[in-house]
Amino acid sequence: MSPAALRNFGIFLVVLVLIDLYAYKGVNTALANHSLTLRRIVRFLYWIISIGILGLMVWSVVSMQDPKLRRDHSYMFSLVALFLLFFLPKVVMVIFHGLDDLLHFGRWLWSKLLPGTVDAPGEGIDRLRFLSQLGLILAAIPFTGVLYGVTKGRRTFNLARVPVRSGRLPAAFDGLKVVHISDMHLGSFGDDLSIVRNGVELINAEAPDLIVFTGDMVNDYAEEAEPFIEVLRGLNARLGKFSILGNHDYSDYPKWESATAKAANLERLKAIHAEMGFRLLLDEHEVIEQDGERIGLLGVQNWGHRFQQYGDLARTLQGTESLPFRILLSHDPTHWSYQVMGTGVDLTLSGHTHGAQLGVKLGNSTYSPAQWVYKHWAGLYTEGEQQLYVNRGFGFIGFPGRVGMPPEITVLELRKA
C-alpha cells in the first residue's frame, strides 16, 4: 500500500472511531433510565462488535496485498455488508443524538442570555433524551434492511411479465416470449451456485422462445464464471440464447500485469459464453426466422455516456435495414438516448443500472437512487415507435444484497399492435 493510501486509510479509521464514540454516547443517553446490568451488557456488545469490525478491516487491508485475495469479490463484498450492517445504525444514532445535544446546547445558551427557570426540574432533560431514544429505535431500520438484503433480498427473484406491442412486428412472431436477463456478476456469488441455479429453473419454467443476456457476466475476471458454466448451459430456449458484453466484462478496472494477460482474459470470457450455449453478438446481428417471416436480433458492444464506448452501432445495424422488426441488445441504457434513437430500431434491451439494488415502493411507484443518475433506469420506456426496456439485474456488485429492488427475470411477450 502506498504512503498516501495508508494515510487515507488511517484518517478513515480515526473518523470511524469518532463516530463509534459519539454513537455510543447516544446509546448510553437513550438507556439512561434502564438498569445498570442492561447498560453493561449493551456496552460490552457494542464495543466488542465495533472493535472486532475495525480489527477485521485492518487485517483485510493488509491481506488485500495478495493479488489472489483481491480477486475474491465475494469475500470483499461480505465485508462491505458486515460494515454497513453495523455502521448505518450508528449514523442514525449520531444524527438524532446530535440533535439532542444541539437542542441541549440551545437551551443552555438561552438560559445564559435570559436567566430564569424555564421548565420544571428534569423536564427539559427528559424531552431531549427522547431524541436519543428515538434514534436508537430508528437505527433498527437500516440494520433490518441490510440484513434482509443480504439474506433474502438477493435470493428472491421478481418475474416481471411485460407485454411489448408494435405494429411493425410480423404476425408470425405475435406472442413470441423473450426472457431478458442482465448483470449476473457471477464473481459476487463466490462458490454459492444456489441463487443462479434457482434463476435458471425459473427461466426454464417459462418455456421461452428466446433468451437474451445483456452483459456484465463477471465483475472483472473470466475465472469468476468458470464454476457456473454447467448451470447456465442448462438454460433452454426454442430459438436460441444470445448475449453481449457489458462494461465490467472488458476487465478495464483492475490493474493487469500486461496487455497480453488482459486480452487473454477477454478471449477466455468469450469462450465461456459459447460453452454456456450463448451466441455472443459483437457489433453484429442474427436473423430469426419463423413461419416464413423474419426479425433481426442485434448485439452491440458496450457503449455508455459515462462508460466505455467500444460499440460500433453503424456496423451492428449494417445489413438489417430491410428487416421489419429489430431488437437491439445494448448493455448501457444511455446508449438509447445518445445513439439508438432515430435509427428505427424497434426494441432495445439494456441493464447496467441494477436499479441501484435499492428501492422504496410508495403506492404503484418505486423510487430508487438510480433515477438520480439515469433518465432510463428500470422498466419499459417508449418514444415514438421505439421502445427501451431496462432490466434491474440478476446479480449484485459492491453491496452483496438487494433492498426493495429484487433481482429480475424479465419475461417479454411481443404482441402485434
pLDDT tens digits for range 263-312: 999 999 999 999 999 999 999 999 999 999 999 999 999 999 999 999 99
Cell readout for 208 is 421461452
Domain match, 361 and 248 both:
yes
Domain match, 211 and 145 both:
no
Domain match, 84 and 169 both:
no
Domain match, 217 and 279 both:
yes
Yes or no: say if 48 and 55 are a contact pair by the CB < 8 Å rule: no
**d(C-alpha 219, C-alpha 300), whole Å:** 19
Give the side-chain half-sphere CA count within 13 A for 44.
6
pLDDT, tens digit, for every residue of 377-411?
Answer: 999 999 999 999 999 999 999 999 999 999 999 99
Q: Which helix (H) or strand (E) holds 128?
A: helix 123-138
3-state secondary structure 16-32: HHHHHHHHHHHHHHHCC
**d(C-alpha 292, C-alpha 366), whole Å:** 42
**d(C-alpha 320, C-alpha 318), whole Å:** 6
The pairing of beta strand 379-383 with beta strand 177-181: unpaired
* Tally of structural domains, the chain: 2
Domain match, 342 and 386 both:
yes
Give residue 362's pLDDT.
86
Give residue 350's pLDDT.
98
Give residue 339's pLDDT.
97
Range of the domain at 117: 3-150
**d(C-alpha 298, C-alpha 327), whole Å:** 6
Domain termination residue (choose one: 150, 182, 215): 150
Domain match, 212 and 108 both:
no
Domain match, 316 and 169 both:
yes
Yes or no: say if 16 and 54 are a contact pair by the CB < 8 Å rule: yes
Cell readout for 30 is 437513550
Mean pLDDT score of the chain: 92
Domain match, 292 and 408 both:
yes
Domain match, 106 and 246 both:
no
**d(C-alpha 68, C-alpha 163), whole Å:** 45
**d(C-alpha 141, C-alpha 139), whole Å:** 5
**d(C-alpha 125, C-alpha 116), whole Å:** 16
Give the side-chain half-sphere CA count within 13 A for 371.
10
103-107, 165-169, 204-208, 354-358: least confident range:
103-107
Q: CA distances (Å), 122 to each of 63, 118, 134, in order?
A: 52, 11, 19
50 Cβ contact list (under 8 Å, min separation 6): 20, 86
Alpha helix segments (H runs only) across 156-258: 194-205, 229-233
Domain termination residue (choose one: 94, 126, 150): 150
Domain match, 374 and 399 both:
yes
Domain match, 224 and 181 both:
yes
CA 155 to chain centre: 13
What's the chain's Rg over C-alpha atoms? 26
Yes or no: say if 409 and 202 are a contact pair by the CB < 8 Å rule: yes
pLDDT, tens digit, for every residue of 196-247?
Answer: 999 999 999 999 999 999 999 999 999 999 999 999 999 999 999 999 999 9
Yes or no: say if 410 and 181 are a contact pair by the CB < 8 Å rule: yes
Q: Could you tell me which of 172, 185, 122 has the C-alpha nearest to residue 289?
A: 172
- Is the confidence at residue 252, as pLDDT, over 50? yes
pLDDT, tens digit, for every residue of 57-68?
Answer: 888 888 776 666
Domain match, 251 and 324 both:
yes
Helices (H) and strands (E) in the chain, counts: 11, 14
Confidence of residue 108 (pLDDT cuts 50, 70, 90): confident
* Count of residues in the chain: 417
Domain termination residue (choose one: 150, 167, 190): 150
Strand partners, 362: 365
**d(C-alpha 240, C-alpha 348), whole Å:** 18
Side chain identity, residue 25: K
Task: Provide the CATH number for the domain around residue 250.
Answer: 3.60.21.10
Q: Could you tell me which of 151, 209, 201 has the C-alpha nearest to residue 179?
A: 209
Q: Could you tell me which of 188, 232, 214 has the C-alpha nearest to residue 352?
A: 214
Q: Which helix (H) or strand (E) holds 163?
A: strand 158-166
